[in-house]
């Protein structure tokens, strides 16, 4: 079995997060025939692992075996230094069952205030995994460092983007043009590693 992905290969993007799906589609640049997990009616798997890579593998494996297609999954999150790396792999969970990221951002702000630390450094991590149905899996990781800012700024992007300023920048991911975020983000960095391995 070849682990190279030929242009036009049918792939399932194993995410139920529309923000991620949009960014993954932009990174894939029409190179593959991509169907979404929602279009195939795939269920959202549990995320039982303790690492981003572990959870990306679980999601890709589940989607590939259920669909019979090669699957690309993303597990990602925001890590805050003063919170010992939280919310990290629990980034989606901090938004609660209604996926309210206004609430998740308020929670980051109040937990940070509780620490009385003035360290606002943070980083985003993205693990990407590609799994072949009943076959191998390849996983990579990307990271971008930056700083948190409150109150939130900008209505672009998704999730925690309005409070994150990437290193060396002035705008939050929520204020940046989507193309500018895609040029430097944790997802873009993971994607570059995947491209080197598989394309």
Residues numbered 65-124 forming contacts with ligand ITT, rule: CB under 6 A: 74-78, 91-92, 101, 124
Nearest residue (CB) to ligand ITT, 22 versus 31: 22
Tell me, yes or no, if 33 is annotated catalytic.
no
Site string for ligand ITT, 127-166 (x = CB under 6 A): ------------------------------xxxxx-----
Nearer to ligand ITT, 2 or 110 (CB): 110
Please state the closest distance from residue 35 (CB atom) to ligand ITT, in A.
15
Number of residues that bind ligand ITT (CB under 6 A): 24
C-beta closer to ligand ITT: residue 77 or 146: 77
In the 3-class helix/strand/coil scheme, how is the chain assigned residue by residue? CCCCCCCCCEEEECCCCHHHHHHHHHHHCCCCEEEECCCCCCCCCCCCCCCHHHHHHHHHHHHHHHHCCEEEEEEEEEEEHHHCCCEHHHCCHHHCCCCCHHHHHHHHHHHHHHHCCCCCEEEEEEEEEEECCCCCEEEEEEEEEEEECCCCCCCCCCCCHHHEEECCCCCCCCCCCHHHHHHHCHHHHHHHHHHHHHC
* 185 near ligand ITT (CB under 6 A): yes
33, 75, 114, 119: which is the annotated catalytic residue?
A: 75
CB of 59 to ligand ITT, least distance (A): 6
Q: Are 12 and 69 in contact (CB under 8 A)?
A: yes
Catalytic residue ranges: 75
The residues of the shown chain that bind ligand ITT, judged by CB under 6 A, are: 15-17, 20, 44, 47, 59, 74-78, 91-92, 101, 124, 157-161, 173, 185, 187
């Amino acid at each position: 079995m070849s682990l190279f992905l030929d242009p036009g290969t049918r792939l399932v993007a194993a995410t139920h997060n529309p923000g991620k799906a949009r960014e993954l589609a932009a990174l894939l640049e029409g190179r593959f025939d991509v169907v979404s997990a929602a279009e195939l009616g795939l269920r959202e798997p549990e995320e039982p692992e303790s690492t981003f890579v572990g959870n990306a593998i679980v999601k890709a494996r589940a989607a590939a075996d259920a669909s019979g297609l090669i699957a690309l999954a993303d597990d990602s999150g925001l890590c805050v230094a003063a919170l010992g790396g939280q919310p990290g792999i629990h980034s989606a969970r901090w938004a609660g069952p209604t996926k309210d990221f206004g609430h998740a951002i308020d929670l980051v702000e109040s937990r940070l205030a509780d620490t009385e630390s003035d360290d606002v450094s943070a980083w985003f991590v993205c693990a990407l995994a590609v799994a072949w149905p009943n076959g191998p899996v390849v996983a990579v990781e990307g990271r971008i460092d930056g700083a948190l800012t409150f109150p939130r700024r900008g209505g672009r992007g998704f999730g925690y983007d309005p409070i994150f300023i990437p290193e060396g920048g002035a705008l939050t991911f929520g204020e940046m043009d989507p193309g500018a975020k895609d040029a430097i983000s944790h997802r873009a960095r993971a994607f570059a590693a995947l491209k080197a391995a598989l394309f």
